[in-house]
Amino acid sequence: MSLALWLTGAASAAVLGASARWNWWRPRAEGLPILMYHKIGTPPPDSRLKKLWVSTDMFRRQMEWLKTHRWEPVTLRQVAEKQDRGDPLSPRAVVISFDDGYLNNYQNAFPVLRDYGYPAVVFLVVQAVGWENFWHDPATESRLPMMSWKNAEEMQSAGVEFGSHTMTHPRLTGIESKQVVEELGKSRRIITEFLGREPVTFAYPYGNGQDDEKVRRLVRDAGYRWACSVHQGKSVPTEEPYCLHRIFVRGDDSLFDFHLNMTRGRARL
Ligand SMILES: [Zn+2]
């Protein structure tokens, strides 16, 4: 093979590799991006769930990216209020969401959010508040402290919305309807009691139940306005209020992945 031919081959192999890795060829997607984070900071060395950890430094760079590109972070409560008033949602609106309610969200993410003046949405596992991530198998993720009601109150005063992520983080399709109703209703009542505001948003633990008509109906009947899934992509809230798609921000994402996520709705195949 001639050198020129070999070089051409190598170049197209590289391009093919890049296109499988990154969705730069995908057209820009319309809709509301809802970023999904879990833990902010440095994972414990034995963590088997490292992709769920975004470093504080990378989180700050991502918030800086949003600012540079003039995105406008909003809460899902604000999206509901806009819809009720018949106001259009800004095409630059973005939601920054966190699942579970780890103390590291308060310690590491909140100071960054405050620096930028950005609101966010945190989904609490209500029985874990002020305690630990009891639902995790300690073989995959060691015990981590969760934020307290006091932390949550402080965040709420700075514009953070709190939603429910159930009482105990169960797989909702694996338990009786009566228990599902309890997980949805009790968590909602306790959040209302401690934070003085009825939560309007719910997030399915593990995304389980997000495609189940019966579970979705129970979420609606419990009084929630929106429910967040783990389906990847941007969302049109009015069309899929009980299965909002989200953008999973992985711990090993580069800023280029973040850019693709924000513009295309996904960074990878
Ligand atoms: Zn969760």
Mean pLDDT of residues grouped by 10 in the chain (269 residues)? 50 52 66 97 88 96 98 98 94 97 98 98 98 92 95 98 98 98 98 98 98 98 98 93 97 95 84
Say what the pLDDT of residue 22 is: 57
> How far, in Å, from the CA of 156 to the mean position of ligand 1?
20
- Cα 60 to Cα 56: distance, rounded to the nearest angstrom: 6
> How far, in Å, from the CA of 164 to the mean position of ligand 1?
10
> How far, in Å, from the CA of 101 to the mean position of ligand 1?
9
Hey, what long-range contacts does 147-153 have (CB within 8 A, 24 or more apart)?
A: 147/101, 147/102, 147/103, 147/105, 147/106, 147/122, 148/103, 149/194, 149/195, 151/103, 151/106, 152/101, 152/106, 152/122, 152/124, 152/194, 152/195, 153/194, 153/195
What is the per-residue pLDDT across 78-88, written as a single tens digit (0 to 9) for each? Answer: 999 999 999 99
> How far, in Å, from the CA of 136 to the mean position of ligand 1?
10
- Strand ranges for 131-180 from DSSP E: 161-164
- Domain ranges within the chain, ordered by starting residue: 3-264
> How far, in Å, from the CA of 195 to the mean position of ligand 1?
20
> How far, in Å, from the CA of 137 to the mean position of ligand 1?
13
**CB of 249 within 8 A of CB of 38?**
no
Say what the pLDDT of residue 20 is: 53
Distances (CA, A) of 225 to 217, 218, 238, 257, 268: 11, 12, 10, 30, 30
Say what the pLDDT of residue 212 is: 98
In the beta sheet, which residues pair with residue 94? 73
0.85 exceeded by pTM: yes
- Cα 98 to Cα 85: distance, rounded to the nearest angstrom: 27
> How far, in Å, from the CA of 100 to the mean position of ligand 1?
5
Say what the pLDDT of residue 1 is: 44
> How far, in Å, from the CA of 11 to the mean position of ligand 1?
42
> How far, in Å, from the CA of 59 to the mean position of ligand 1?
19
> Measured in whole angstroms, how far is the alpha carbon of residue 1 from the centre of its chain?
50
> How far, in Å, from the CA of 207 to the mean position of ligand 1?
8
User: Can you tell me whether residue 54 is helix, strand or coil?
Assistant: strand
User: Can you tell me whether residue 39 is helix, strand or coil?
Assistant: strand
- Cα 147 to Cα 31: distance, rounded to the nearest angstrom: 31
User: Among residues 71, 57, 174, which one has the least CA distance to residue 118?
Assistant: 71
Domain 3-264: top CATH class: alpha beta
Say what the pLDDT of residue 79 is: 97
> How far, in Å, from the CA of 37 to the mean position of ligand 1?
10
Task: Give the count of beta carbons closer than 10 Å to the beta carbon of residue 168.
Answer: 18
